Structure 1
């Protein structure tokens, strides 16, 4: 009987510690649900951008990528983003697929425009700039150095 009481107490301690770590992980990440609105942007290439990638304005995370699909008519990548409410982006804002350093992941960088009208839920950012693949840049640089035509 004494052994089963010790096992029960140890099991309760393990569950308590696991619960503590779950609460800590939840509070230290951006998993908390808050009010947000959905935006869409279309790109020719989104290489390396994944679901959950950051959406940043001025280097500050204001949202996340929540969906990616392909437009079957014009074959562009359609990226859906949730942006935190209170971040009112002008309709002439620009979305760029940027890189987090040389080998870092990709994120959507939003450069706010100057228009008085702002994007609302379901809005679309029309001004976009595609991701540039590192291999493509290295290939262009190599052909510039060697003087060969990369065509």
Structure 2
């Protein structure tokens, strides 16, 4: 009888332990999915969700903030996502915040990252539509890497053809094998330096000549006579073309008595 009682006690404890673990597991899952506790709703609209699913996590500045409640197609270019956000974060999420779809790690699940906006703005209430922006995801990076690989392959093929043409060019190798090439190059460089020095001297001579011309021109301008100013009166002989009439002299007084 005592043995049966101990067996029933152990069985009861085992059942209670299993039930407790089951309830704890449900609570943890429900808390992660915001099934328990208070929350409010925010909305965001995207042109594409890149594999985002119901139940994916939402983060605000890297902190777990909630989960995706539902995903609804508005039209062929707009998809609306309903988010459940913990009430504890409501005072910090404002209407100028921006949402974007990202990835947990490099190839993890899709998440929504909410980034705070700059400046003051009202607190986002229940049902507020947040702004969205697009970030570079893994698919875009892979496409860019694919194009880069194609470009590198094209460039390497061109380089290979160029090297083949250089190797097959006998004239180029004869030119490079010419022993007089270094001496000719040095001579050409020497002539170029000499021509540059001659050009500098010619420029200096021209500047000196222009300076001398300016110095000789200045005294001539200072010493040149000024032309007489025209007057309104004209000579009578010039106007009439005849000699000017002289007035008659008065007769001399007689000296006899």
TM, length-normalised to structure 2? 0.49
Q: SS where residue 51 of structure 1 aligns?
A: coil
Task: Give ranges in structure 1 of 5+ residues lacking alignment.
Answer: none
Closer, same or farther: CA 105–78 of 1 in aligned 2, 3 Å = same
Which of 29, 39, 43 is 2:42 aligned to? 39
Question: For 1:40 and 1:146, how far apart are their aligned partners in 2?
Answer: 40
Q: SS where residue 86 of structure 1 aligns?
A: helix
Question: For 1:135 and 1:86, how far apart are their aligned partners in 2?
Answer: 34
Q: Contact 2:97/2:114 (CA < 8 Å) preserved in 1?
A: yes
* Matched ranges for 1:10-29 at <5 A: 11-26=11-26, 28-29=28-29
Q: Contact 2:46/2:132 (CA < 8 Å) preserved in 1?
A: no
How large is the RMSD of aligned CA atoms in angstroms?
A: 2.7
Q: Which has the larger radius of gyration?
A: 2
Task: Give ranges in structure 2 of 5+ residues lacking alignment.
Answer: 153-257
* Matched ranges for 1:1-150 at <5 A: 9=9, 11-26=11-26, 28-29=28-29, 30-31=31-32, 33-72=36-75, 74-87=76-89, 88=91, 89-113=93-117, 114-129=119-134, 132=137, 134-147=138-151
Return the structure number with greater helix share: 2
| CA displacement at 1:135 relative to structure 2 | 3.5
Return the structure number with greater strand share: 1
Runs of 4+ more than 6 Å apart: 1-7
Aligned residues: 146
Q: Contact 2:47/2:78 (CA < 8 Å) preserved in 1?
A: yes
Q: Contact 1:97/1:131 (CA < 8 Å) preserved in 2?
A: no
